[in-house]
Structures are given as structure tokens and as C-alpha cells.
Structure 1
Amino acid sequence: MIPTLVVALLAATSCSGGGSSSGPKAPAAVFPATVTHEYGQTVVEEAPERVVSLGYTDQDAILALGTVPVAIREFTGNRPSATWPWAADKLKGEQPQVLPAGDVTPDAVAALEPDLIVAITADLTREQYDAFSKIAPTVAAPAGTTDGRVSWADATKLTGAALGLPAAADRIVSDVEEKFVEVEENHPELAGATVAMAVPNPADPASVKAWSSNDLRGQFLKELGVQVPAQVDRLAGNGSFATMPSDQLPTLDDADALMVAGTPAEQAAFAALPGYGQLKLVQESKVVTLDDEQSAALAFGSVLSLPAVADEVAGRLARAVGR
């Protein structure tokens, strides 16, 4: 369930599908709006009425700002309207079309007759951006983005700019940041703790992927006052994760706790790896296994998903760390 604080702030900033305010305290949308991103600037002349969420997780920021997209791209979980419970109530009963996780052609998007395409987390090439921008104003990732890693705060602010609601976006970001501070203060055991977060490697069942500080999951841990083990970051280099064969599993014992994501089947495969049962963290019950929604929430790394699970995940990690 989304925390009360987040529900309140979203209600205060909710608006119509075109981005106009619906309450006396909601800031009015301002157009034309100019958005700066990695491929230059996009000008949105007037309040959009048909927004396509082309990025894999862009729908959450769009929904947080009160707009229901006409189409949402699938990312994970095959949920109705490609929307998880933390954002479902923001659909306002509407059922956006679901775009595939694979290739989405310009023709498919053009058929939706959009007047704004939000592609912040779509990891577009310049060629793709040019093709989509011929259909409607298109917003790509922030300049300097690496491997599609866009922070929840940057994604929210960029979306707010495109919807003519930069002040509303800033307020949402500020309130969620305050939420993370509150969670961190409620769990002082986590201060300076190290947590390794891993999932089975789909490309090699005999290994695991341990997420680095560069990944959105690692950034979420930082919001809680937690650090990724230095050895994981060294193995990952500039990448989002380190690939560890089963004989490297003891490296995970450098952490104060282990967090395991993925589906129940994936977690069972992880636990079946040679050496897993011999890990000190396993023997001392310092392993936190995330459920489907928590795993997806951290993978989304969005303005709606992270606050929805922060309290529960932080509490479980604090108990596992046991300081």
C-alpha cells in the first residue's frame, strides 16, 4: 500500500488528463513548455490530451502528476494496463493500451494519435528519437544518462516540465525525499550498513547478478542509508551489476545482509546454487527475500514505486542487519 504521505501529496497535485489542475491548491499548468533532454529541446505548445508512455517506467511519473496515458509500455509482471498496485488507483478507472516490452514501431505509436510522447526511460537512440518526434513532441532521457539509468527524481522533474507542471513535480520530489529521510531516521540500524542485493542470472543459471551502486536499486539502498559492498562495485565497474559465478558467492558475505529479488522460482534457483547454504549470511538468517511487488518496485525505481515499499523493505533490512 502507498504510504499516507504519498497519497496526500499526489492528491494535492492531481489534475486532468490534459494536465490542468483539479483542486484549489494545485498549481496551474503552464504552456508552452520547453523541455531539455539528451537530444536537445522539445517544445510542448499546449496541454497534451493524449500522452503515450513509451519509456519502460515513465507511466509512474505521468500518473503521479495526474495524467492518465493513452498507452503504457510493458516492463515487468504483465499487470493490467502494465500498471502495478502502487499506481493502479491513479488510472482513474481507465484502461490504457499496453505497448510491448520489445520493439515499438513509430507506426504503432502514430496510430494512437499522441500529442506528447514521454520516452525518458525508453533508452532511445538518436534515430529512434527523430522518428518519434516526427509524430509528436517527444521527451528523451536527461543529458548524460548512462545505460538508461534515470533517477526517479530526474524522471519526475522532466515529466513535470513536459506536462507544464514543474512546480508540482518539484513538490512531489521534495515530499518523497522527506519520506526517505523519515524512513532512514526510523531505522538507525541501517546507517553505514552494507547490503548485497542479488538475483539469479537469466543468462547463466550457474551465476547471480549483484546490483551495484550505479543501478537504481543501489541508489534506493543509498536513500535508506545503506551501502553496496565495495567488492560488488569493483566487480561491476561502470555497469549496473556484477556477474558472480557460484564459486564467488562467498563475496556476498562481506555484506551485513543479503537481499534477494526475483520471482519465487528465481529465488529458489538462487538458493539451490552450490555454496548458497554455506554462506554466513544464510546461516545467520540475514537474508531478506523480496516478494514480487517489492522486487518490481525496486526495478521500476519510480516516484510511486519506491515510497510504496520503503517502510517494509527498510524494516526487514534493519531486522536482518540486527545492529
Structure 2
Amino acid sequence: MPRFRRVPRTAAALASALVILATAAACGSDDKDSGSSNAGSKADASGKSAFPVTIAHKYGSTTIKSEPKRIVTVGLTDQDSVLALGKVPVGTTEWLGGYKGAIGPWASDKLGGGKAPTVLKDTGTGPQVEKIAALKPDLILSVYGGLTKEQYESLSKFAPVVAQPKQYNDFGVPWQEQTKTIGKALGEPQEAAAAVEKTEESIAAAVKEHPEFKGKSALMATPYEGIFVFGSQDPRSRLLTDLGFSLPGDLDKVIGDQFGANISKERTDLLDQDAIVWIVGDVTKDSDKLHKDASYKDLKVVAEGREVYVEETGDYGSATSFGTVLSLPYVVQRLVPQLATAVDGESATKVEQPAS
């Protein structure tokens, strides 16, 4: 299974785990209560308390009574937003890269020399409830996530949980919304807005430098079990549109209400855009395999050299899939030159891999 996939999680493991969680959950509750004495200690610029704060999400709303001290991120990229706001989670969920603390190199300086978070594995069976409870969290974040209602209710037994927003597909929240939601939960709304603005400025600078992107079409895909394309609510696709590209008009109609899906051989026309960005395991092997695929190799996007390859096993690939307030500037520095070469109208120019 490729690293970009988010496996639908079942509630069975959570239900059984809760039977043995009474002690750990009680400890978590005690820790949460002891922190409540600090309610209202966090104030905004006007001097008004940032807490309590209530955040709406897919399963209703969650009220956070006081400033969180022990944050666990179940959302696969939520740690970056927490770090961008000057806080370090006590627990993170591993998704890509195998990094210490599940903190990528684009965000590692935010640790400030402090202790790396405890890493929870994303096994595909659901959050590791026992390990989460043992960390005694006073806030659990799953904004960029796909919690089921059962999982949300189970985790809520021992800490407030902020689940994914209801107005987006699971794993479909925009990075700006992710950052601002987490900023609100941590009592740092102004800091979150400032972090978003800083990253948007880096993207806007690339747009200004490359006006040729406007009016061009692009798509991100990966050769997994055939061809898997990313929809409009995936962070990878959102980066393309933020840079000025348009997505295929019927993309979401083809893949349905998901962040992405495999397409049939009959719909490889979706790939024939002004630029296509492939997320691959190995550039040489996967490009060779694609160029032997009868449904793909004769498309104009191939003949005219408009392919971009991002190797998912490296930092660049991980940062691209993360698509967060901290990873996007890192990605823009590497992806934009590749896209510029892909759409320059010169089929002889080769799209090179970033130096690092």
C-alpha cells in the first residue's frame, strides 16, 4: 500500500480497547481537571480570555475549557499546525517519512531543541486508544483526518476531540482552515492567521513570478493499482489551483465524494493536461512502467514532455503529500521550477529533479 493512502478505520479495536482503559482514562480526566484551574489564563490581544472555546465539526461540536497543555494529534498532518503555533504535541500519528516524532525536516526547527513527541502508528485499524490514553491528553486533534463517529465518541471519553470539519470530505480540509481551526483550539487564533498569511505570501510570490501558470490545466496522480488521481479537495490538488492551474472539469464527478480514486483505462483522458504531476515510489522505474502503458504512453502530455515526477519516499514527496502551513513553502521551492519547465512549450527541455 502506498504511503499516500488513508485507510478507512474501523471502530472494533476502539470498542474493545475501552474495556481496559478505565484506569488510563481516569488518569486522563484527572490531568484534564487539574488543568482547568488555569481556565481563562490565555488571553487575546484585547485582554479577553480565549477560553472556553467551542469548535464545530463533523460530529457536532467540542468545547475546550482551558488552554491545552498535552496535545495529541490523530489527524495525519495536524502536528504541523500545532508546531507553527509554537507548541509541541505530546503525541503524533505517523503517516509519511518515518521521521523522529513524526516531524518532517520542514518543521523540525519548531521543536526548539525540545523532546520529540511520542509517535503513534497509523495501522489502518484506527487510533491507538490505549497509547493515546496513556499520554494523558487534554486535547485530541483530528482535523486532517477521517475519524468515524464511533472512534470520535470513544476518544471523547477521556479528552476533548476536534474531528474533521463536516463541510469537507474526510482528509479534505484546506490547510488554511486546518491551521485556523487548530489555532482556535489552542487559543492562538491571531498567530494562526499570521502563519497562514506567511505561507500564502510564499505561494503568491510564485504565482507572480509565473503568470504562465494561469489558464493552464494540471492534475496530480500516482500509479497505484493502476492509476489513482487526486480530487479537488486533496491538498496536492489545492496547491496546483493555488498556483494558478485549473483541474479537469469533471474530475470530482469521476472520482466521487472522495479525496481521490482509481480511474478506469477509459478515463486516462483526465491525465492529458498541460502538466501532470506524478507521485511515485521510484522515478526511473515508475516512469518506465507508465510509458509502457498503452492507455497512457501516447498521450500528448507524454509526447510533449509535460510530466513532473515527485518521488514519494523522499522529503520532497512527503512534504508534497503533507500540504501544510509548514511544508508548502518547502514544496513550492521545488515544484514550481518543475512545473515551469513542463509548461514552457518546449518538448525538448527535460523536467529535472530538485537538487535536494
Q: TM-score, normalised by structure 2?
A: 0.75
Does 2:102 match 1:79? no
Task: Report the equivalent of 1:318.
Answer: 340
1:296 corresponds, among 314, 318, 324, to 318
Structure 1 pair 28–238 and aligned structure 2 pair: CA distance change class (3 A):
same
Tell me by how many angstroms 1:40 deviates: 2.8
Tell me by how many angstroms 1:179 deviates: 2.4
Find the residue that maps to 2:183 and give its secondary structure: helix
Does 2:101 match 1:101? no
Question: C-alpha distance in 1, partners of 2:328/2:195?
Answer: 13
Structure 1 pair 108–315 and aligned structure 2 pair: CA distance change class (3 A):
same
CA contact (8 A) 2:220 2:277 kept: yes
Question: C-alpha distance in 2, partners of 1:276/1:229?
Answer: 16
Question: C-alpha distance in 1, partners of 2:50/2:90?
Answer: 21
CA contact (8 A) 1:260 1:288 kept: yes
CA contact (8 A) 1:56 1:75 kept: yes
Find the residue that maps to 2:177 and give its secondary structure: helix
Question: C-alpha distance in 2, partners of 1:46/1:295?
Answer: 37
Which runs of 4 or more aligned residues in structure 1 lie more than 6 Å from their structure 2 counterparts after TM superposition?
none
Q: How does 1:21-32 map to 2 (within 5 A)?
A: 30-32=50-52
Does 2:279 match 1:261? yes
RMSD of the alignment, in Å?
Answer: 2.5
**Matched residue pairs, number?**
295
Does 2:163 match 1:145? no
Find the residue that maps to 2:62 and give its secondary structure: strand
Q: How does 1:149-298 map to 2 (within 5 A)?
A: 149-201=172-224, 204=225, 207-246=226-265, 248-253=267-272, 255-264=273-282, 266-291=286-311, 292-298=314-320
Does 2:44 match 1:44? no
Find the residue that maps to 2:51 and give its secondary structure: coil
Structure 1 pair 144–43 and aligned structure 2 pair: CA distance change class (3 A):
same
Cα deviation code 1:250-283 (max 9, x no counterpart):
5522x11221112215555434433544332222
Task: Report the equivalent of 1:117.
Answer: 140
Question: C-alpha distance in 1, partners of 2:164/2:260?
Answer: 21
Find the residue that maps to 1:142 and give its secondary structure: coil
Cα deviation code 1:73-114 (max 9, x no counterpart):
011222222221111111223221110112223222111111
Structure 1 pair 57–134 and aligned structure 2 pair: CA distance change class (3 A):
same
Tell me by how many angstroms 1:69 deviates: 0.8
Q: TM-score, normalised by structure 1?
A: 0.83
Question: C-alpha distance in 1, partners of 2:334/2:171?
Answer: 27
Question: C-alpha distance in 1, partners of 2:49/2:106?
Answer: 25
Tell me by how many angstroms 1:133 deviates: 1.5
CA contact (8 A) 1:199 1:266 kept: no
Runs of 5+ unmatched residues, structure 2:
1-40, 346-356
CA contact (8 A) 1:33 1:162 kept: yes
Question: C-alpha distance in 2, partners of 1:60/1:215?
Answer: 17
Question: C-alpha distance in 2, partners of 1:302/1:180?
Answer: 12
CA contact (8 A) 2:169 2:259 kept: no
Residue type of the alignment partner of 2:302: V
Task: Report the equivalent of 2:85.
Answer: 65
Find the residue that maps to 1:42 and give its secondary structure: strand
Structure 1 pair 258–30 and aligned structure 2 pair: CA distance change class (3 A):
same
Question: C-alpha distance in 1, partners of 2:227/2:49?
Answer: 46
Structure 1 pair 115–214 and aligned structure 2 pair: CA distance change class (3 A):
closer
- What percentage of aligned pairs have identical amino acids? 37
Question: Looking at CA atoms only, which structure, 1 or 2, has the larger radius of gyration?
Answer: 2
CA contact (8 A) 1:210 1:243 kept: yes
Question: C-alpha distance in 2, partners of 1:36/1:114?
Answer: 20
Question: C-alpha distance in 2, partners of 1:28/1:178?
Answer: 29
Moved more, 265-274 or 278-287: 265-274
Runs of 5+ unmatched residues, structure 1:
1-19
